Structure 1
Amino acid sequence: MGRTFMIDPIKSARDAMTRGHFAEALRIAEAHVATQPFDVQAARLYATLCSELENADAERAWRNVIALAADDVEAHYMLGNLEGERGEYETAVEHFRAALGRAPIHPQLRASLGLALDELGQVHEAEASFRQALNGIANPPYALVAALARNLFRQRRFAEALHYFDILAQKSAIADATLNAAYATCLSSEGRDEEADTAFRRAIDRNNSGALGIVRDYSAFLMRRGRYADAMRLLEEARADSCADLLAASMLLICRMHLADWRDFDALRVNIIERVAQRLSQPDDVVPAYDFLALCDEPLLQRKVAQRWGEMDAPDISARPTGRNRQSGKLRLGFVSSDYNNHPVGRLVVGLFEQLDRRQFEVFAYATSAPTGDRFDERIDAAIDRYRSLDRRDPEASARAITADTIDVLFDLNGFSGGEAIRIFARRPAPVQINFLGYTGTLGSPAYDFILTDRYCVPPEQRDAFEEQLLYVEPCYLPSDPTRSRSPQVPIRADYALPEGAFVFCAFAAVYKITPQLFDGWMRLLRHVPGSVLWLRHLAADRVERMRSAAARYSVDGTRLIFAPGEDIDRYLARFALADVLLDSAPFGSHTTVNDALFSGLPVVTLAGESFAARASASQLRAAGLPNLIAHTSNEYVEIAHSLATNTALLDTARHALADPRKRSPLFDMDAYARAFEAAVAHAYERSTSGALNERA
């Protein structure tokens, strides 16, 4: 009798695989598993072939492997990938971790775990997993480097992310549109703007899906650099005016406001406000909080917008630290700002620093931008006890530096106006944190305990519109430096092409604060005050042309709009003497411009609204003894300005009030302001040490 040879089905299946005959291999493996259901090796081979051929039985096959060998690394890995593909990331994480229990240094497993954790929003755990996957790999795969770069980008750790994006770019051109957009943002954060622009354009070119997020990111980059026309074209091409994306629609309107382009202004504005009022439920249901102040005068809606905008910038808020044991008896005050220079905030706050009582307080200035070396920078440096430079790109390190200085009360002089301070404050480096001066509205974040204001700007009955508790300094919250200097060279009207005998209404508001409704009131004034002119701040030629064309539509000769040049601060302050009345903007008032005008003896007409931003100018007029120049309706605003232009006695009375130091002192008495400020700060700190911060005052 001849010998019988046993055919090994596992070997036969693998031989078929080697020849590329996967379907044949699958048939052999499936038949063998059917007769030998407890053969782990066969079950694993069958599952592998199912995955290779994308067979619908793959998931059941891998689960069968785990039923036979609960700690099978490959089975858990493959099931983790399958769960991840259908969005079941928590289950995927369980499988990957089970596999890592047997293969802890498996780079591919670590990478897959990181991807699943990233999808769950567990960015720190995901980062650790990616870094463990990279350990010991001399030439890491593109996908793993991209995953870590994207993870760091999501954490807003742009400098670190850029390191890995640069590695990717060296490997090969980054093809993915979303990755290019993230790379561009990181390049921009490091000041590599030309490269960032190139990366953004590459992202737009490769944005085959039309993802609006990429359009928004590039538009935001262009807007930060003052390229509003380019951003507007990009958003218009993406149909941002008619899409469901609230952020894109808001950005388009903001671009147009910066360009004095008021097409569809009312429709876009109403649409944005209605959508804010109805819901903010989707990830893209956000509006830039600072710009919203110029669109909407409703404090409760401003709070809603601020909360969503702040969540984007600083989603995680650290717990409040306990106060330090103050050995010296002095309170340590810290002021965080990007504007310690010739900027409205720097010019306003320097006088306060000089007047604070050093027997009670130590003053620390934390700068999130490089010093400019101008005289305001130098004056601030001389007025404080310690000056520290912070890296705005690293809020964690910045917060640690402030904590190391054991600051008692920390002030954010930026808010949403710039400087990234909110990300520092989210780390809670001080026991008491106060929103002050840079942003006239709630920051909507529990990182801030108080907002410093006055009872006119924010009446007590508005406390529900603020996340912060209200901390009052009376009669006006705004510090007004009385020692600011003007150019010794006295200007004349001919220097600015102002008609010698004309009544000069001036309006030096930023162009984005000028709404069509406000402009309508200004044109009514020019029509009803013969020979008058409107003197505006320096604008680019395209804005000048649009505003003069708009004036013509009101039957006003466009040449009656005269535009001042850009000038240094001394000349700027001196030129107020050439005007007759300053017209404030609304609903977002021009607070520092109003202060400069009142300091220069120039009467101001303002329209008081409901919000802090719409009442701050009026608060100054009250403190300056000119409440009669505060309007409460658009018609009253025009009427008051018209009365000043046509009633010489009324105008002279207003000028006299500003020329009399005794009448001006409540607004410009910095010594009295400093004492009121000190009392408010001491009260805030006392509430924190008594455990009363959680109680609404």
Structure 2
Amino acid sequence: MTSFARGVAAENAGRLEEARARYLDVLRTEPRNPAALHRLGVVELRLGNPRDAVVLFQKSLAIAKDLEVYLDFGAAMAGMARWDAAATVYAAALRVAPASADAHYGLAMALHRQGRPQDAEPHYRKVLAAFSHLGEVHNNLGVALQDLGRFAEAAAAHREAARIDPTDAASWSKLGVALHAIGQGAEAEAAFRNALGLAPQDADCWHNLSGLLDACGRPAEALAAGRLAVALDPGSARNWLALGNAAGAARRLEEAWRATSAAARLEPLSPAARNNLASALQELGRWREAVAEYRAALELQPDFPVAEINLAQALSGLREADGALTVLRALLARQPANGEAWRRLGSVLAEAVRPDAAVAVLRKAVALAPGEPDAQADLAMAAAMAGWSTQSADACRRVLRLVPGHAAALGQLVHQQRLLCDWRDLDGLEAQLLRQVRAGAEGVSPFDVLSCASTLADQQSAAARWAAAKARGALTATRPAATVAMAAAGDGRLRIGYLSSDFREHAMGHLMVDALETHDRSRFAVTAYSTGLDDGSALRQRFQRGIERFVDLRRHTDADAARTIAADGIDILVDLTGFTSFSRTSILAARPAPVQVNWLGYPGTLGAGYVDYIVADPTVIAPGEDGFFSERVVRLPDCYQPNDRRRAIAEATPTRRDCGLPEDGFVFCCFNSAYKLTPALFDGWARILAAVPGSVLWLYAGNRQVAVNLRREGEARGLDPHRLVFAQPLPHAEHLARHRLADLFLDTLPYNAHTTASDALWAGLPVLTRRGTTFAGRVAASLLRAGGLPELIVDGQEDYEAEAVALARSPGRLRDLRQRLALNRPVCPLFDTPRFTRHLEAAYRAMWDIHRAGGEPRPIAVTAEDAGGPASAMEGEGESA
């Protein structure tokens, strides 16, 4: 046997040192023996000397171009992760043996590892053309196809690998990844579970399953899978990131923060880890820490659009709109086609109360992604803020075409069509909206439900879901111990805080200013917390002068605002905005005061466990209805609504001609907002006008389209369009003065006149109302009772129409009503603000006494011994509905 043969035998037997010696013996006598050089190179490779092996392979190939040498040489390069060199060697092998499957496979792997999947693909396919039974090659081809974004083809490749070897967990796992990418969630889940049945300790597969379940909206299951992935491989940052995503979706915000923190510790130079950590901090309300982490991510990767958009959102949340706009404009300068950046820019502008600019920007976002419902929804909201109801309604319809069950868009569409008096398909839309509310749909603004034919149960249901959404992420704003001690040792006054966006020229501002000024400062320390615009109006200045402390919180985050209120030691925080424009309900969710109250701004329950009381009266919330209110009901003896005794009425009265009214004829009027008008109500008004020849109906129309639509509706009911007259906006004192030209105010239902009814009565104009079945539909009845005109309250539509016609035909009776109203005005409870404020203060004292005694909030009835006597508070058990 020759030395070479003995070397081969030793090599095959694993006696590598002996094989080396034998091959060296051959090379001493035959230094250019290519076979001996080749085999010695293989031995050196097996002995862990790849560099020596490479030299030997090169020498062998210099003598003879042999395929086997090329293949072993390529494997050596691959073993050293020298993928470029490996590719060169395998390419040379193919020049020697173009049909070599091994060379094609080696070249495919080397190219793939260099990030060249498009070049690797044809070589994988060459191998499979000759050896289609190789599952590993199908899998590698599938990975290359995934890298190329060709997920359907990738799924086919992995499926074939799994067919060839159904016991290969890797094939099933890779198939699951590809199926997930093409949206076949159920099939992907089945593939992952097959893989885990074969390899239950595969952390990567648990990671992939967690991501799939998270994407499918199954956060609890995603969380469980993510926890298993982390337990199996706690050193993997990607596993912690998956757990963080799942925990965030499951609203396990602390766990999400801990998981993303772990990922960032494991990979501190990972921009994705820092971005996800920032998002977790943001969800916890730790906005400034979130901003720092977003900036850290961007330092690691300056061109990181997701982090830039997130940073802008965080800055906007911190009320730093200028900083957010700077970030987004810089991103859009680089990526002018980034629709999400345009969308976020529009949102920031809207949040900064620049709706016109927001609409222009959001139109660009929609143009870039017309099939994106969120951009359309944002455009709808911005257009509504700008007062462009037609554009808002159009955008809502586009959202609903894209997502037919989009509850928020449906609610907004109903409201915008009401604002336009566009009733052509309104009944069907309202019925659809109420079905969604009753089915538990998320995202329906409770305010949009008030003006529908909704029940108290509907309103409570919508409010509860809205309030819960506002509470997400809110952190309790605990009163500092020093503040509590200072309050206990203070002046003995009860500290009342009023939270509102309407300390300005606004209907609510006109109602509440006198009551807030009239508080007994010897017993109550009053602070106004303003979250709205400073419009520079005389009314704004009056609030600032007339209230003991006026604190502007507009540029505070909700969390900072809550901390400010808590630090001030407020005992009772009263929300005057509710679910109306510019509300900041999340401040209440942080519980900055031990007692929290819903009053005046929103005629219904807030549905929130963090609001203790609602201020009402026996008319707006009747006995037996307490169960439909999440708050405990506080009933004042006269009316829940205050009024301003200093409300100015212009001395000069315009002429009827000035206002477009006929010189003669009865003038019915309704200055309510257009959204309170309904087709059924208008039917009744048409019948009233038909029964009173020469009469006209004077309506408020701040939007030109309202007049167009109502004239069309009038013609459809046989009305001469000239019998509808439209009033334009005027300064408040002048608006009150023009009430003198009308004869009777006709109220609306299901949403009554509120401030507009008070305005009419203050100006001396009788109001005819129909009592409704909800708080919003009973306010005018409450006002008329407190104003001494209860006979103008009716219960049915027929009675409403009959009474309107009877009054129009009875000038003497109408004159008597006006005279009574004029005589009542100085003395009636409706306009007796000091009396009202004493009743309100009695309610506050009762609330505080219950709290101080350690009791749970319970219903309160405030009574007065006589019309002007001192108020007392009586506690009682609430009645369930």
Q: Structure 2 counterpart of 1:228, which letter?
A: S
Q: What's the counterpart of residue 280 of structure 1?
A: 440
Measure the CA separation in 2 of the matches of 1:392 and 1:441. 28
Q: Do the aligned partners of 1:606 and 1:637 also contact (CA within 8 Å) in 2? A: yes
Q: What's the counterpart of residue 214 of structure 1?
A: 375
Q: Structure 1 counterpart of 2:382, which letter?
A: F
What does the per-residue CA deviation read over 1:2-49, in whole Å, with 9 as the maximum and x for residues that have no partner? Answer: 33222454633534566387942687999xxxxxxxxxxxxxxxx999
How far does residue 614 in structure 1 lie from its aligned partner after superposition? Answer: 0.6
Q: Structure 2 counterpart of 1:84, which letter?
A: G
1:482 to 2:645 alignment: yes
1:584 to 2:741 alignment: no
Please, which of 120, 131, 140 is the counterpart of residue 302 of structure 2? 140
Q: Do the aligned partners of 1:149 and 1:162 also contact (CA within 8 Å) in 2? A: no
How far does residue 181 in structure 1 lie from its aligned partner after superposition? Answer: 2.1
Please, which of 538, 563, 566 is the counterpart of residue 375 of structure 1? 538
Moved more, 306-315 or 91-100: 91-100
Cα RMSD (Å):
3.7
How far does residue 377 in structure 1 lie from its aligned partner after superposition? Answer: 1.7
Q: Structure 2 counterpart of 1:685, which letter?
A: W
Measure the CA separation in 2 of the matches of 1:102 and 1:213. 30
Q: How does 1:397-436 map to 2 (within 5 A)?
A: 397-436=560-599
How far does residue 401 in structure 1 lie from its aligned partner after superposition? Answer: 1.8
How far does residue 102 in structure 1 lie from its aligned partner after superposition? Answer: 9.8
How far does residue 675 in structure 1 lie from its aligned partner after superposition? Answer: 0.9
Please, which of 320, 327, 344 is the counterpart of residue 182 of structure 1? 344
Measure the CA separation in 1 of the matches of 2:206 and 2:325. 33
Q: What's the counterpart of residue 293 of structure 1?
A: 450
Distance 1:692 1:164, change over 3 A: farther
Distance 1:557 1:443, change over 3 A: same
Measure the CA separation in 2 of the matches of 1:60 and 1:242. 37
Moved more, 671-680 or 366-375: 366-375
SS in 2 for 1:415: coil
Q: Do the aligned partners of 1:332 and 1:362 also contact (CA within 8 Å) in 2? A: yes
Distance 1:489 1:107, change over 3 A: same
Please, which of 671, 681, 684 is the counterpart of residue 521 of structure 1? 684
Structure 1, unaligned runs of 5 or more:
31-46, 64-74
Q: What's the counterpart of residue 152 of structure 2?
A: none
What does the per-residue CA deviation read over 1:186-214, in whole Å, with 9 as the maximum and x for residues that have no partner? Answer: 23223455653343223212326x23232
Measure the CA separation in 2 of the matches of 1:529 and 1:241. 48
Q: How does 1:333-412 map to 2 (within 5 A)?
A: 333-391=496-554, 394-412=557-575
1:99 to 2:181 alignment: no
Measure the CA separation in 2 of the matches of 1:530 and 1:173. 62
How far does residue 528 in structure 1 lie from its aligned partner after superposition? Answer: 0.3
Measure the CA separation in 2 of the matches of 1:373 and 1:465. 39
How far does residue 113 in structure 1 lie from its aligned partner after superposition? Answer: 7.7
Measure the CA separation in 1 of the matches of 2:815 and 2:827. 15
Structure with the greater alpha carbon radius of gyration: 2
Q: What's the counterpart of residue 41 of structure 2?
A: 5
SS in 2 for 1:433: strand
Please, which of 11, 19, 36 is the counterpart of residue 87 of structure 2? 19
Q: Structure 1 counterpart of 2:712, which letter?
A: S
Moved more, 643-652 or 106-115: 106-115
Please, which of 381, 386, 391 is the counterpart of residue 225 of structure 1? 386
What does the per-residue CA deviation read over 1:536-582, in whole Å, with 9 as the maximum and x for residues that have no partner? Answer: 11333322122112111111111011112321111111111111110
Q: What's the counterpart of residue 243 of structure 2?
A: none
Q: Do the aligned partners of 2:762 and 2:825 also contact (CA within 8 Å) in 1? A: no
Q: What's the counterpart of residue 605 of structure 1?
A: 768
Q: Do the aligned partners of 2:771 and 2:795 also contact (CA within 8 Å) in 1? A: yes
What does the per-residue CA deviation read over 1:226-276, in whole Å, with 9 as the maximum and x for residues that have no partner? Answer: 111112223334555992222222222222111111111111111211232
Distance 1:165 1:107, change over 3 A: farther
Please, which of 410, 427, 434 is the counterpart of residue 249 of structure 1? 410
What does the per-residue CA deviation read over 1:111-141, in whole Å, with 9 as the maximum and x for residues that have no partner? Answer: 2485499699966699859917826936534
Q: Do the aligned partners of 1:396 and 1:424 also contact (CA within 8 Å) in 2? A: yes
How far does residue 343 in structure 1 lie from its aligned partner after superposition? Answer: 1.2
Measure the CA separation in 2 of the matches of 1:99 and 1:376. 60
Distance 1:392 1:315, change over 3 A: farther
Moved more, 584-593 or 132-141: 132-141
How far does residue 404 in structure 1 lie from its aligned partner after superposition? Answer: 2.1
Measure the CA separation in 1 of the matches of 2:280 and 2:532. 34
Q: Structure 1 counterpart of 2:381, which letter?
A: A
Moved more, 434-443 or 479-488: 479-488
Measure the CA separation in 2 of the matches of 1:359 and 1:155. 38
How far does residue 149 in structure 1 lie from its aligned partner after superposition? Answer: 3.5
SS in 2 for 1:258: helix
Measure the CA separation in 1 of the matches of 2:508 and 2:595. 21
Q: Do the aligned partners of 2:277 and 2:290 also contact (CA within 8 Å) in 1? A: no
Please, which of 828, 833, 853 is the counterpart of residue 690 of structure 1? 853
What does the per-residue CA deviation read over 1:304-330, in whole Å, with 9 as the maximum and x for residues that have no partner? Answer: 111222334342455585793432110
How many correspondences in the alignment? Answer: 666
SS in 2 for 1:406: coil
Q: Do the aligned partners of 2:294 and 2:308 also contact (CA within 8 Å) in 1? A: no
Distance 1:454 1:10, change over 3 A: farther
SS in 1 for 2:380: helix
Q: Structure 2 counterpart of 1:24, which letter?
A: G
Please, which of 715, 734, 738 is the counterpart of residue 571 of structure 1? 734
1:666 to 2:829 alignment: yes
Distance 1:192 1:25, change over 3 A: farther
Q: What's the counterpart of residue 84 of structure 1?
A: 211
Q: Do the aligned partners of 1:411 and 1:435 also contact (CA within 8 Å) in 2? A: yes
Q: Do the aligned partners of 1:77 and 1:109 also contact (CA within 8 Å) in 2? A: no
What does the per-residue CA deviation read over 1:146-177, in whole Å, with 9 as the maximum and x for residues that have no partner? Answer: 473487499797847556434432442252x4
Distance 1:53 1:497, change over 3 A: closer
Q: What's the counterpart of residue 708 of structure 2?
A: 545
Q: What is the TM-score when the length of structure 1 is the normalising length?
A: 0.86
Measure the CA separation in 2 of the matches of 1:549 and 1:428. 50
Q: Structure 2 counterpart of 1:276, which letter?
A: V
Q: What's the counterpart of residue 197 of structure 1?
A: 359
Q: Do the aligned partners of 2:332 and 2:342 also contact (CA within 8 Å) in 1? A: no
Identity of aligned residues (%): 30
Q: What's the counterpart of residue 307 of structure 1?
A: 464
Q: What's the counterpart of residue 258 of structure 1?
A: 419
Q: Structure 2 counterpart of 1:185, which letter?
A: S
Q: What's the counterpart of residue 20 of structure 2?
A: none
Q: Structure 2 counterpart of 1:295, which letter?
A: C
Q: Do the aligned partners of 1:440 and 1:612 also contact (CA within 8 Å) in 2? A: yes
Measure the CA separation in 2 of the matches of 1:592 and 1:255. 21
Q: Do the aligned partners of 1:216 and 1:235 also contact (CA within 8 Å) in 2? A: yes
Measure the CA separation in 2 of the matches of 1:654 and 1:689. 47
Q: Structure 1 counterpart of 2:570, which letter?
A: I
Q: Do the aligned partners of 2:632 and 2:857 also contact (CA within 8 Å) in 1? A: no
Please, which of 599, 603, 614 is the counterpart of residue 777 of structure 2? 614
Moved more, 392-401 or 444-453: 392-401
Q: Do the aligned partners of 1:145 and 1:168 also contact (CA within 8 Å) in 2? A: no
Q: What is the TM-score when the length of structure 2 is the normalising length?
A: 0.69
What does the per-residue CA deviation read over 1:42-74, in whole Å, with 9 as the maximum and x for residues that have no partner? Answer: xxxxx99996675859984999xxxxxxxxxxx
